[in-house]
A and B are shown apart, each in its own frame.
Chain A
Amino acid sequence: MNALEIKNFTKKYENFVAVDNLSLEIKKGEFFGFLGANGAGKTTTIHCITGINTITDGSIKVFGIDVDKEYKKARTKVGLSPQEFNIDIFLTIEKILWYNGGLFNMKKEEREKRIEELLKILELETHRKKQFRQLSGGLKRRVMLARALMHDPDLLILDEPTAGVDVELRHELWEYLKKINAAGKTILLTSHYLEEVELLCNRIAIIDNGKIIAVGDKSEFVKDGKSLEKKYLELTQKTKSS
């Protein structure tokens, strides 16, 4: 079964076409890189998968569940760590996770246990009583990841998860992501750090002006000794010139 199946998906904002007839499949257990310049359509696509945006045309299914028709069931399968800090900055880390678990119908005991697990794994224990606004950039990113993982989703979507994170923490996050992917979690990652995508992802898609211009195994992008960055620039510049 595919973890994510997007068919002929289009998103329009009045007359502007943000995503144009996009089709994409991500298999269960994959670590998938979704690349593109700012405004290419990555975040719009992610917002339509998660329910933040509405779909203009086409269909999106998560583990076979339509995100529009069966949205309640579909949303329990997805966890999102967004690009921007979309959070109540006056809440403590504990409360952020507590309320979020509640929104996903987790019982009290389940929530308590999961919070302890996540605080430990992401080394947030000593900061648990701090308000979000009091945290450093790196800690904020970890909280976003913890929130996305709170209800233990099968598909984890990470939109620029390491933006503004120092090198050490970035490496720690990579190790953690590799670990949860190895344990079976499907991950969709967008990042401007192409070395990050090259290191973590098995398959990659590149979106440009709302259209997929390349998709395939990582090996196809980095063959002939080229770096992913070089291949990415080649592909995006080719579409610009055409």
Chain B
Amino acid sequence: MNNKIALFSFISREIQRFTRVYVQSLFSPWINAVLYIFIFGYVVGSRIDSIAGIKYIAFVLPGILMMNIISASFQQTAFSLYFKRFAKYIEEYLVAPLSNFELLTGHIIGGVTRALFVGTGIYVIAILFHAASIVHPLWFFFYSVTVSIIFALVGVFIGLWADNFEQLNILTTFIIMPFTYLGGMFNSVSMLPEKIQWFMKVNPFFYFVDGLRFSMTGVQESNMIAGIGIITFCILGLGGLVWYLFKIGWRIRG
């Protein structure tokens, strides 16, 4: 059965969901990005010569971009799925002729689309601040999309698991924010004392931020093969897990 229209309809509804609350979903991360770029790029950055041979703003920007891409894709799928369960309109999708795979795909594309909307906006802001560059466009696209997919999948899991609004925010507070900040968003590995450099190297967020930094500046501190391996493992592992949860109807089908 050809379900192109159904899937397209699902995705357009997901897009409508976040554009309906554009102040929260789009303007808020863009305004935050302006503040980050201004403070870390100009106020603080003007007092720092360079890091790894590039201007501080060029070093920090990929981290700001990645943090927002991660947040946007995660929030889209987690909140969308949770609200569908909370208000019971998940049933509208369950009675429609959509497979579990299509339901999952629709959510993921919704999450990636929001992340790309947010990321594009921040990139345009960075251009206005003369802070943007892309050295390897294909790698830029690769890291933006694959990391969005990972956190859209994480969001799906949390959207299925959460029983209240507090639980929806647990991951952002305890994992996403601290691990991004500690994943080389503002500093290079060499700026840390040697004894704790290992912590940054085992933090997967370091590979996400550093990969995007490589695509934008050409500077790389992490092992690229390891980074791609981590991304592939996360997508396949999380994708398999949430597909299985959809298949057994965990917390959505009685």
Contacts and interface: CB of A to CB of B under 8 A. Distances in A.
A127 interface: no
B95 interface: yes
Contacts, number: 81
B253 interface: yes
Contacts of B87: 86-89
B230 interface: no
Given A102-B5, A105-B5, A53 B95 contact: no
A88 B92 CA distance: 10
A103 B88 contact: no
Interface string B81-107: 000000111111111111100000000
Interface string A28-68: 00000000000000001001001111100000000000000
A202 interface: no
Interface string A154-180: 000000000000000000000000000
Interface in B91-127: 91-99
Interface in A75-110: 75-76, 78, 80, 82, 84, 86-90, 95, 99-107
Contacts of A53: 253-254
A73 interface: yes
Interface string B1-44: 11111101110110010001000000000000000000000000
Given A90-B20, A103-B10, A103-B96, A72 B1 contact: yes
A82 B97 contact: no
B249 A54 contact: yes
A106 B6 CA distance: 8
B97 A71 contact: yes
B254 A99 contact: no
A76 B97 contact: yes
B6 A102 contact: yes
A102 B92 contact: no
Contacts of B16: 95
B6 A84 contact: no
Interface residues of A, number: 33
Nearest to A110: B5
A89 B88 CA distance: 11
Contacts of B92: 86-87, 100, 103, 147
Interface in B176-214: none
Contact of B97 (A84, A99, A104, A147): A104
Contacts of B5: 102, 105-107
Contacts of A82: 91
B89 A86 contact: yes
23 contacts: A51-B94, A52-B254, A53-B253, A54-B249, A72-B1, A72-B98, A73-B1, A75-B95, A76-B97, A86-B89, A88-B89, A90-B20, A95-B16, A99-B12, A101-B9, A102-B8, A102-B9, A103-B6, A103-B98, A104-B97, A105-B4, A105-B5, A105-B6
Given A54-B254, A100-B92, A104-B97, 18 more contacts: A13-B254, A50-B95, A51-B95, A53-B254, A72-B98, A78-B95, A89-B87, A99-B13, A102-B5, A102-B12, A102-B13, A103-B6, A103-B92, A103-B97, A104-B6, A105-B3, A105-B97, A106-B5
Interface of A: 13, 44, 47, 50-54, 71-73, 75-76, 78, 80, 82, 84, 86-90, 95, 99-107, 147
